[in-house]
Each structure stands twice: as C-alpha cells, then as structure tokens.
A and B are shown apart, each in its own frame.
Chain A
Amino acid sequence: NAGVTQTPKFQVLKTGQSMTLQCAQDMNHEYMSWYRQDPGMGLRLIHYSVGAGITDQGEVPNGYNVSRSTTEDFPLRLLSAAPSQTSVYFCASRRGRMNTEAFFGQGTRLTVV
C-alpha cells in the first residue's frame, strides 16, 4: 500500500544550494503534480505532468524544474534555493480522467536559511 512516496520528509538548505525532492507512485497514474503549501494559501500548483515525457507549468513555477522520464517518478528540482521557497511541498498523483481523486504523499518540509 505504498501509494505516493516522497523523500526526504525534512530538509534544511542554505540560500543558493540546489536539491531534488523525490516523488514516486505505484498506482500507474498518468497525472502527477507538485504543490507547495504555505499558511493561509492552501495548495498552489508548481508543475504538473500528464504522462512520461510531458510536463507543464502551474501557478508558481519560477525557481523549480521537473522532469518525467517514467510513469512512476516525478522529481522536483530547486535550482538555487531562496528563503521564499521555505514551504511544505506535496506531490500528488491521479488517474488521467475527469474528476478523479488526487492521492498525496506525506509532504516534504523545506527550510531555506
């Protein structure tokens, strides 16, 4: 019953460092997304993918890169971390049809100092 697995759970970065947040799902879902959650802001979409090799920008894409080389994996890369990227990051997957349920990982709490 793995579902959506995110690693790491916690991370502290220095300004300017880069890192990759990992996300893997074992449900063979077509759609995968990355969100960030900040107090009072709900979840904001960073990038999403509708299948292997296909990615697109969401609402707040600046400072982040993604790739989707396989159906299972959808890593999020921070190119040069900034304090404004301090947040909780969630990866989600869902079947590629209308009105389907989004399954979320447990989140990565990132602090940039």
Chain B
Amino acid sequence: TQLLEQSPQFLSIQEGENLTVYCNSSSVFSSLQWYRQEPGEGPVLLVTVVTGGEVKKLKRLTFQFGDARKDSSLHITAAQPGDTGLYLCAGARPGSARQLTFGSGTQLTVLP
C-alpha cells in the first residue's frame, strides 16, 4: 500500500476536454508537489503547494492542496496533446522533509 494514492491510474481523453487527477493519503503532508514525466526522461517539477486550501494556477493547470493537507488535485482545462505524460504527486511528511514520497502516478494520453 502506497502512502500516496493517485487516481485514475490511466486516463485517455480527446483534445479540448477537461480532466482532474487526484492524489490522496490518510497522512498529513507539510507540502505536496506535482511532477510530469515524459518517456525516457526523469520527472520535472510543475508546482509545490504548502498551505492547506492553497490553489495555484499554471496556465491551463490548476493545483489544489486539501484543507487538511492530506490530499491534492490537478485539474487541466482544454487538454492538449502536449499534456500527454505521467503525472506524479510527491509529498514531504512533517518531520521527514528529507524524504520525498511519490504517488503511484497517472498516465494521461490526450488524443488529437
């Protein structure tokens, strides 16, 4: 059982559709990060959220950190084929900032 559970595991949508990816845990995190990974590459940071209830927007991507700091969501508006990739959430537990724990990942495919 992973500390951070992501859903859905796979998502295939048409260009222009909206989608939401979830990252859930029963544990509290001092911060959550979202990374995007393309084939053959390492993950690259998209955003860090640190305050419960925080919402951050990055162009068509909206990230939210739950009020209780146990969950986060990533919403993409009007998805484009360039959004295709593996989306990973990662968290640092209070008192364990040295360790970054990753979720199971959501593989997103946006079809033209």
Inter-chain CA distance A92–B99, complex, in Å, is 11
State in angstroms the CA–CA spacing of A12 and B101 once bound together. Answer: 28
Q: Does B85 lie at the interface of the complex (its beta carbon under 8 Å from any beta carbon of A)?
A: no
Determine the main DSSP class of B at the interface with A: strand
List of 9 A-B pairs having minimum Cβ-Cβ separation, nearest first = A104-B42, A43-B102, A42-B104, A99-B31, A101-B45, A42-B102, A42-B105, A98-B97, A50-B98
Extra 17 A-B pairs, beta carbons < 8 Å, given A31-B98, A40-B9, A92-B100: A40-B104, A42-B6, A42-B102, A44-B102, A45-B100, A45-B102, A99-B30, A99-B50, A102-B45, A102-B90, A103-B42, A104-B41, A104-B43, A106-B40, A106-B42, A107-B40, A107-B42
Enumerate chain B interface residues (CB-CB to A < 8 A).
2, 4, 6, 9, 30-31, 33, 35, 40-45, 48, 50, 88, 90, 92, 97-105
Give the residues in chain B near A99, CB-CB below 8 Å. 30-31, 33, 48, 50, 92, 97
18 A-B residue contacts at CB 8 Å?
A: A31-B98, A41-B2, A42-B6, A42-B103, A42-B105, A43-B90, A43-B102, A45-B102, A56-B98, A59-B101, A92-B42, A99-B33, A102-B35, A102-B100, A104-B41, A104-B42, A106-B40, A107-B40
Chain A interface residues toward B at CB < 8 A? 4, 31, 33, 35, 40-45, 48, 50, 56, 58-59, 90, 92, 94, 96-99, 101-107
